[in-house]
Amino acid sequence: RNKKATFNPHLLDRKNKRALSLEKIEETVKTGKQDKKESQFPKICLKRFFGKENLTYYVIIKEDKDFIEVITAWKKKGR
């Protein structure tokens, strides 16, 4: 995934309320695995576990031919 990532205003509004890290969101987009049970075309749900913090980030994206739009994200404790 070498496309440019853009962030939906919805995500930026909720980032502070949910105490989300944009760095972890970007890392999830780059290296996360697709979560089949959460994905609904044309949206894709990616998830990545960060062991040191014991957090799993879920990121919903829409892929275009030139860029990836990050629609929303959330985290949960543990796997």
The string of pLDDT tens digits covering residues 11-62 is: 888 777 788 998 999 999 999 998 877 667 788 999 999 999 999 999 999 9
Amino acid identity of residue 70, one-letter, is: V
The predicted pLDDT at position 2 comes to 67
The model carries a pTM of 0.84
Q: Are strands 4-7 and 67-77 parallel, antiparallel or unpaired?
A: parallel
Among candidates 44, 50, 49, which has minimal Cα distance to 68? Answer: 44
φ and ψ of 14, to 5 deg: -90, -10
The burial of 37, by beta-carbon neighbours within 10 Å (0-12 exposed, 13-18 middle, 19 or more buried), is given as exposed
The predicted pLDDT at position 42 comes to 83
Whether the pLDDT of residue 1 is over 70: the answer is: no
Whether the pLDDT of residue 71 is over 80: the answer is: yes
